[in-house]
Every structure is written in structure tokens, then in C-alpha cells.
Amino acid sequence: MTDISSIVILTGAGISAESGIDTFRSAGGLWEQHKVEDVATPEGFARDPDLVLGFYDMRREALAKVRPNAAHTALARLEREFAGELLLVTQNVDDLHERGGSDQVLHMHGELKSALCLSCEVRSRWDAPMACRPPCPVCQASSLRPDVVWFGEMPYQMERIYAALQRADLFVSIGTSGAVYPAAGFVQEARTAGAQTLELNLEPSEGTAHFHEARHGPAGALVPQWVEEVLSA
Ligand code: BJW
């Protein structure tokens, strides 16, 4: 683990599982409880906005009942103590990285606690229900949607992510199934550019063969152990 000066970390739903947030594709996960095309596509939102706004209201409310776990706090420690460049990219819309102490988090699939106004296109911090059609704090139109990235939409800050993947010495993927692109392609992007690649996941992901190394187990155990290795190298 010597000569690492630039790390990109990608996290997914698995890092928040031990905090009590449902993953998407596990048995009993969100996509068994709700049809993905109904709640996570622009077409689903156009068809039944009440259903979609209610789905995200429920998930936003659930955030109040959960706490960051040892994996989130270990990544915050890495941010504080690692001397090199670190980019933490999360696919998660929860705020557990921030509440675990990370200051610099790139939410490529948006955030539950952000609202996007379809009238004025301004984003506002948001912690209240949306199904009751509250007015936009900027233009007063009742046109708010959750500021999240649905299938068919462009994830956020892709240029910044791809630039960091080009510079990375190490790419680490934590708690993600590798089922959703473009995030699922980051490992190949980083590896082709010369980075070492490491998977930390409960089980082999769909892309596990692309990684130089894969460790399988709960993030709450694997991530603090890996962070200790990086900081003591
Ligand atoms: C643990 C654990 C523990 C459990 N410890 N681990 C055909 C081929 C290729 C691509 C496409 C295709 N057809 C369409 C596409 C594109 C499409 C796509 O990827 N579709 C796939 C289904 C194939 N992608 C898009 O549309 C994206 N946009 C796009 O591509 O734009 C064009 C573009 C082109 C070029 C460059 C850039 C862009 C947008 C994708 C948006 C995804 N949105 C969602 C919803 C966000 C809002 C919300 O939260 O509701 O994002 S879907 C959902 O999946 C959510 C997640 O972020 C994402 C990934 O899920 P994640 O995090 O991996 O969770 P799980 O449940 O799948 O896995 C959890 C893992 O944790 C498991 O492996 C467990 O084992 C593990 N685990 N407990 C460690 N304790």
C-alpha cells in the first residue's frame, strides 16, 4: 500500500445497510417493495407523481431514525488523515457520509434532502414532505421534485469523477452491486488508467472480476480495517 497519492472511493447502498437503510436489489430490498419503473424513472413520475413523491417522502423521513455506522466514520477519518487527494463519490441519496463526519462528498445520484424546482430549476435544501406540493422557496411554484437521478437521467458531476479516475492510484468500490451504469464502469475506467482496484462488498458484485483484489464481508468491519491499512502504510 505504498506510494498511494490519489484515491477515488465509490460507495453504494451496502455501506448504509448496517445503519438500517434498505438496499435496492437484496431480497426484501426496495426494488422488491416497489417497481423500479414506477418510482425511479421520469416516466413513472409523470404517470403518478403522488406515488413517487410519497416514496421519497417515506425514505427522507426514515433518515431521522438511522445513524452512520463504522464504515461511514472510517471514511471520514480517512478524509481527515490521508495526506493525498481523496474523492468520495456516493451513489447514495442518504446523508450518512456527512453525518459520519465526511465534509467532501460527491452525490452522483443526488440527495434526499435536496429539492429541484421544475419551474425555476433551482435546487434548495429540503427536509419536509413533497407529496403535499409545497411551494418552491425561490419562485413559489408548486413544482418541486426530489433532486435525485432516475434511470435515463444523467448522473451529477461526471466530468469531475472521470478526471479523478484518470489521476487515481487506487479505486475502491464499497457496498455496490455493480448493476447500474455509469458507476459500474468506474472500475474499468480507473484500471485502464493505471489504478489499483479494490472491492469491499458483502458478496462478489456483478463486476468483481474487474478488480485486482476483492474482500467480502460487512462494510462495518472491512472499511475500518482497510482505512487503518492505508493510514499506517
Ligand atoms: C453490503 C452490505 C454490507 C449489502 N456491507 N456490502 C444497458 C446496459 C448498460 C447501461 C444501461 C443499459 N440500459 C440502460 C442503461 C443505463 C442505466 C443502467 O445502468 N441501467 C441498468 C439497470 C443496466 N443507467 C442510467 O440510466 C443512468 N444514467 C445514464 O446512464 O445516463 C447516461 C450516461 C451516459 C454516459 C455517461 C454518463 C451517463 C442513471 C442511473 C440512475 C440510478 N438511480 C438509482 C435511484 C437513485 C435515487 C434513489 O435512491 O431512489 O440509484 S437506481 C439505484 O441503483 C440507486 C443506486 O444508487 C443504484 C445502485 O445501487 P447500489 O448502491 O449498487 O445498491 P444495490 O442494492 O444494487 O447493491 C447493494 C450492494 O451492497 C449489494 O452488492 C450487497 O451485497 C451489498 N451489501 N449489505 C457491504 N453490510
> How confident is the model over 171-200, as pLDDT tens digits?
999 999 999 999 999 999 999 999 999 999
pLDDT at residue 1, as a whole number: 59
| Catalytically active residues, by annotation | 109
Could you give phi then psi for residue 199, rounded to 5 degrees? -105, 130
**Is the backbone peptide bond immediately before 204 cis, with ω within 30 degrees of 0?**
no
CA-based nearest residue to 208, from 197, 222, 219: 197
> How confident is the model over 20-69, as pLDDT tens digits?
999 999 889 999 999 999 999 999 999 999 999 999 999 999 999 999 99
Residue 134 has pLDDT above 90, yes or no: yes
Q: End-to-end CA distance of the chain: give it in Å, rounded.
A: 6
The neighbouring-strand residues paired with 89 are 10, 106
Residues within a 6 A CB radius of ligand 1: 12-14, 17-18, 23-26, 29, 40, 91, 93, 109, 148-155, 158, 175-177, 179-182, 201-203, 205, 218-219
**CA-nearest residue, atom 63 of ligand 1:** 176
pLDDT at residue 3, as a whole number: 84
CA-based nearest residue to 172, from 201, 137, 193, 134: 201
Q: Which atom of ligand 1 is nearest to the CA of 36?
A: 52
How many whole angstroms from 50 Cα to the centroid of ligand 1? 23
CA-based nearest residue to 176, from 29, 64, 52: 29
pLDDT at residue 2, as a whole number: 59
Q: Output the CA torsion sign for 207, 221, 106, 68.
A: positive
Mutate to test the pocket of ligand 1, among 24, 35, 130 (most ligand atoms within 8 A of CB): 24
CA-based nearest residue to 204, from 220, 215, 219, 190: 215
**Residues contacting 21, CB < 8 A, separation 6+:** 13, 62, 66, 94, 96
Under 8 Å between Cβ of 182 and 159? no
Residue 125 has pLDDT above 70, yes or no: yes
**CA-nearest residue, atom 45 of ligand 1:** 150
How many whole angstroms from 128 Cα to the centroid of ligand 1? 26
Band (93; pLDDT cuts 50, 70, 90): very high
Q: Is 180 helix (H, G, I), strand (E, B) or coil?
A: coil
Which helix (H) or strand (E) segment holds residue 9: the answer is strand 6-11
Q: Is 27 helix (H, G, I), strand (E, B) or coil?
A: coil
Mutate to test the pocket of ligand 1, among 151, 157, 205 (most ligand atoms within 8 A of CB): 151
How many whole angstroms from 48 Cα to the centroid of ligand 1? 22
Q: Which atom of ligand 1 is nearest to the CA of 93?
A: 49
> How confident is the model over 14-31, as pLDDT tens digits?
999 999 999 999 889 999
Per-residue CA distances from 153 to 83, 147, 182, 198, 228 (Å)? 35, 11, 11, 28, 37
How many whole angstroms from 226 Cα to the centroid of ligand 1? 24
**CA-nearest residue, atom 80 of ligand 1:** 218
How many whole angstroms from 178 Cα to the centroid of ligand 1? 7
| pTM exceeds cut of 0.75 | yes
